[in-house]
A and B are shown apart, each in its own frame.
Chain A
Amino acid sequence: MSHDAPAAAPSIDWSRTLKDAVITGLIATAILGPFIGLVTVQDMEHRLILQTRWPLFLALLAILVVGRLLLQIFVWGRPAKPKRAPLALPPSVERIAAPFFIGLLFVFPISVLFALGPQGSIKWIDNYGIQILIYIMLGWGLNIVVGLAGLLDLGYVAFYAVGAYSYALLAKTFGLSFWVLLPLAGILASFWGIILGFPVLRLRGDYLAIVTLAFGEIIRLILINWVDFTSGYAGISGIPRPTLFGIPFNASDNGFAATFGLEFSPIHRTIFLYYLILALALLTAFVTTKLRRLPIGRAWEALREDEIACRSLGINTTTTKLTAFATGAMFAGFAGSFFAARQGFISPESFTFMESANILAIVVLGGMGSLWGVVIAAVALVGGFELMREMDFLKLIFGTDFDPTQYRTLLFGAAMVGIMLWKPRGLISTREPTAFLKERKAVSGSLVTEGHG
């Protein structure tokens, strides 16, 4: 080999490329021919008639063949680029990222209010701000169970329901205030977390997932069928709204607006609720980051890595698992009582398996164990879905009866598949060590054990 010869430009193997295109065409014909090219329709006498759609078939075939040809020539034919190091922010950026983000959250409602006025901003603060923050909080709570302790929980929404019904029933029956019932709802939810924890202590992986799924359904079915207690499908309405330490948000003389000499507007309550859920979410994040650096948090992560080794080191895996379930459930209980207070109406419809799946999807897409990942995933999923409602311009393209929200689940599935292909460990897959001697180095996701129960 002579070294001074110029490196030959990577030439395209034309015969291989063309062969590939022909094979693609044949496969596509075999599949699309009967499915797209032929169609049966009933005529007036209820007979099936075979019709053909060759132009559509040819169009699809051409797209596939040409698309693959172009990919072969321009993408796959190129020599592979050297792999870039995983995206890592410089430490200075990382240090200011959290304060910057929290500051942004604090000024968000004020700036929206100034920009759009009381009427226009309610949608942004309520549908986007509060909704996303609820899911961030739920995601962070579930992250303790799934991301840190590695216990796959498909029934997380049950604790959310326990929190919501605790607040609704206790507030309506005993007239207790939101601020008393908030911790109580958390305690009740974590109590149910322990109840769930006991039978599933011996289970791992798929079996654990099935039992937690069943638990979530049991709670929902009890809420539906115990009509005397929960009023079943009808739900509970007229749930007392939270007050600002005794000052209600209404148009009365001792209401918030009158007390502070403002003109009454429903936006006051919305902004109050926004800051309330923001505080609750930040509490969740604070406690989670603290717990991770405490022995219990390390024990959770060690449990995820290797349960037998944990036991050989004298860690009581029973209590460790139960604390993970209880802590995760407690935050769901907080979020649930906030949810009931915000809506003023709850019914079992709000606590279906789809909710559990959404929260779990946020945790998995974000990267298990990562607080930032949960934030990004919650903003993308919840905010993305809300944004689809806004896309009226699509009606100009696809016709007036086109409803983009109908495609939610499709896009959701596509996003899931895409993430699992390109970032199988979630958006943020590296693990931040909880203690260090000389320098904090992120642990690559490929070494970290995934939660398998």
Chain B
Amino acid sequence: MSRWQTQPLLEVEHLTMRFGGLVAINDLSFTVGQGDITALIGPNGAGKTTVFNCITGFYKPTEGRIALRHGEQSIWQELPRATQASGRKWAKGGSSLWLLERMPDFEVSAHAKVARTFQNIRLFQGMTVLENLLVAQHNPLMLASGWSVLGILGFSGYKKSEKASIEKATYWLDKIGLIDRADDPAGDLPYGAQRRLEIARAMCTDPVLLCLDEPAAGLNPRESLELNTLLRSIRTDEGTSVLLIEHDMSVVMEISDHVVVLDYGTKISDGSPSEVKADPKVIAAYLGVEDDEVEEIEAEVAS
């Protein structure tokens, strides 16, 4: 048994998203294992980003359940009852279940601790690199500043937590190698550095699950390699599970523990990278042919 079956962190069940007559995602179910790097792959237009938008609350799915676990595995037994209840959160003991399909986007990040990045980088271009990382720590800082009241009056509690947040930002700047550019505007950074900064910014929200939408797009091979190292370290050092959409197979096959393949909104394959690579359905989807034509085409390509 693999980790995504024995220790699921996120369970997506029967997820369906329709835009008018278009079925973008059709009855999709998969799980993300705790401590895994899970890759969501598929040809262009397969619905990968739509899945991301459903998980992170930017879209409200037409049907389906998206449940996230904080704490012990045993809490999964409470899932039917959590679903019956009307709330977004079901807590028992120190553990809790979050039903993400019921939550608006900012609560998914603030309370369920799911962070994300975007396919087209969305940094705060006119703010410095450091400020970008401080904005990510908005909620704890807001609390420390007493919803700005204590902050305006200059209470020392806020200064302390601001110092702590700058330290945390420094830690991440060190990690992505941008410490020397901390005071430069984010819009001035080269493309690869902007991608890394967006990941660091998402990590500053202390997520349990990090969703990356094509983190390697536009990176050169060396930067891709650095990205692999960064993602591995996020998993092992921070204990954050990673869900990523990626077209760069060198990244997908190298670092992921679990691959889910989508085509036309339907899951066509699910398993370890080597299993998926060998799956004729996946090959057919990527080549754009029917399943039974795969052997023919492969022979043709080989000759």
Q: Which residues of A contact B (CB under 8 A)?
A: 287, 290-291, 294-296, 298-299, 301-302, 305-306, 308-317, 323, 431, 433-441, 443-444, 447-449
Please measure, in the bound complex, the distance between the C-alpha atom of A302 and the C-alpha atom of B106, giving whole angstroms: 14
Q: How far is the CB of A83 from chain B (nearest CB, A)?
A: 18
Given A440-B183, A447-B188: A295 and B126 within 8 A (CB)?
no
Please measure, in the bound complex, the distance between the C-alpha atom of A444 and the C-alpha atom of B126, giving whole angstroms: 8
Please measure, in the bound complex, the distance between the C-alpha atom of A299 and the C-alpha atom of B123, giving whole angstroms: 13
Cβ-neighbour of A296 out of B118, B122, B148, B179 (below 8 A): B148
Cβ-neighbour of A311 out of B105, B126, B131, B166 (below 8 A): B105
Cβ-neighbour of A447 out of B106, B145, B166, B187 (below 8 A): B187
Given A305-B126, A309-B122, A309-B123: A315 and B188 within 8 A (CB)?
no
Instruction: Return 16 A-B CB contacts under 8 Å, by A number.
Output: A290-B152, A295-B137, A295-B138, A296-B147, A299-B142, A305-B125, A308-B122, A311-B109, A313-B205, A315-B139, A435-B131, A436-B130, A436-B183, A438-B182, A443-B185, A449-B125
Chain A residue at smallest Cβ distance from B201:
A313
Cβ A302 vs Cβ B127 within 8 A = yes
Interface 1/0 per residue, B117-158 and A, CB below 8 Å: 110001111111011001111110110010110011010001
Cβ B142 vs Cβ A439 within 8 A = no
Please measure, in the bound complex, the distance between the C-alpha atom of A314 and the C-alpha atom of B116, giving whole angstroms: 11
Please measure, in the bound complex, the distance between the C-alpha atom of A339 and the C-alpha atom of B141, giving whole angstroms: 37
Cβ-neighbour of B138 out of A308, A314, A435, A448 (below 8 A): A314
Interface 1/0 per residue, B201-221 and A, CB below 8 Å: 110010000000000000000
B63 at the interface (CB under 8 A from A): no
Cβ A294 vs Cβ B127 within 8 A = no
Cβ A433 vs Cβ B125 within 8 A = no
Cβ B152 vs Cβ A287 within 8 A = yes
Chain A residue at smallest Cβ distance from B144:
A295
Cβ-neighbour of B106 out of A296, A311, A431 (below 8 A): A311
Given A437-B170, A438-B182: A294 and B115 within 8 A (CB)?
no
Cβ B141 vs Cβ A295 within 8 A = yes
Cβ-neighbour of B151 out of A290, A306, A440, A443 (below 8 A): A290
Chain B residue at smallest Cβ distance from A434:
B131
Residues of A within 8 A of B142 (CB): 295-296, 299
Residues of A within 8 A of B131 (CB): 298, 301, 433-435
Cβ-neighbour of A312 out of B118, B173, B182, B184 (below 8 A): B118
Please measure, in the bound complex, the distance between the C-alpha atom of A309 and the C-alpha atom of B123, giving whole angstroms: 7
Residues of A within 8 A of B179 (CB): 437
Most chain B beta-carbon neighbours within 10 Å: one of A314, A435, A444:
A314
Known: A301-B131, A312-B117, A443-B185; 18 extra A-B contacts, CB below 8 A, are: A287-B152, A291-B148, A296-B142, A302-B127, A305-B127, A309-B122, A309-B124, A312-B105, A312-B115, A312-B118, A315-B110, A431-B127, A433-B128, A435-B131, A441-B183, A443-B128, A447-B125, A447-B188
Q: How far is the CB of A54 from chain B (nearest CB, A)?
A: 56
Question: Which of chain B's residues 97-111 have a Cβ closer than 8 Å to chain A?
Answer: 105-107, 109-111
Please measure, in the bound complex, the distance between the C-alpha atom of A441 and the C-alpha atom of B128, giving whole angstroms: 9
Please measure, in the bound complex, the distance between the C-alpha atom of A102 and the C-alpha atom of B22, giving whole angstroms: 63
Residues of A within 8 A of B184 (CB): 441
Please measure, in the bound complex, the distance between the C-alpha atom of A448 and the C-alpha atom of B125, giving whole angstroms: 7
Given A312-B109, A312-B116: A301 and B183 within 8 A (CB)?
no
B96 at the interface (CB under 8 A from A): no
Given A433-B128, A436-B130: A312 and B152 within 8 A (CB)?
no
Q: How far is the CB of B297 from chain A (nearest CB, A)?
A: 40
Please measure, in the bound complex, the distance between the C-alpha atom of A441 and the C-alpha atom of B148, giving whole angstroms: 25
Cβ-neighbour of B56 out of A312, A431, A440, A443 (below 8 A): A312
Question: Which of chain B's residues 154-187 have a Cβ closer than 8 Å to chain A?
Answer: 154, 158, 162, 166, 170, 173, 179, 182-185, 187
Residues of A within 8 A of B110 (CB): 314-316
Please measure, in the bound complex, the distance between the C-alpha atom of A314 and the C-alpha atom of B108, giving whole angstroms: 7
Most chain A beta-carbon neighbours within 10 Å: one of B126, B147, B184:
B126
Cβ A438 vs Cβ B183 within 8 A = yes
Cβ B125 vs Cβ A313 within 8 A = no
Cβ-neighbour of B183 out of A294, A311, A312, A439 (below 8 A): A439
Cβ B124 vs Cβ A302 within 8 A = yes
Residues of A within 8 A of B118 (CB): 308-309, 312
Residues of A within 8 A of B145 (CB): 294-296
Residues of B within 8 A of A323 (CB): 148
Residues of B within 8 A of A299 (CB): 135, 138, 142
Chain B residue at smallest Cβ distance from A294:
B151
Chain B residue at smallest Cβ distance from A290:
B152
Please measure, in the bound complex, the distance between the C-alpha atom of A291 and the C-alpha atom of B153, giving whole angstroms: 11
Given A294-B152, A438-B182, A447-B126: A315 and B105 within 8 A (CB)?
no
Please measure, in the bound complex, the distance between the C-alpha atom of A439 and the C-alpha atom of B128, giving whole angstroms: 11
Chain B residue at smallest Cβ distance from A317:
B106
Most chain A beta-carbon neighbours within 10 Å: one of B154, B179, B182:
B182
Given A434-B131, A438-B183: A443 and B126 within 8 A (CB)?
yes
Residues of B within 8 A of A314 (CB): 106-107, 109-111, 138-139, 205
Residues of A within 8 A of B117 (CB): 312
Cβ B106 vs Cβ A316 within 8 A = yes
Residues of A within 8 A of B130 (CB): 433, 435-437
Residues of A within 8 A of B205 (CB): 313-314
Please measure, in the bound complex, the distance between the C-alpha atom of A99 and the C-alpha atom of B282, giving whole angstroms: 69
Instruction: Give 3 closest A-B pairs by Cβ, nearest first.
Output: A448-B126, A314-B110, A314-B109
Please measure, in the bound complex, the distance between the C-alpha atom of A305 and the C-alpha atom of B117, giving whole angstroms: 16
Q: How far is the CB of A147 from chain B (nearest CB, A)?
A: 12
Q: How far is the CB of B181 from chain A (nearest CB, A)?
A: 10
Q: How far is the CB of B112 from chain A (nearest CB, A)?
A: 10
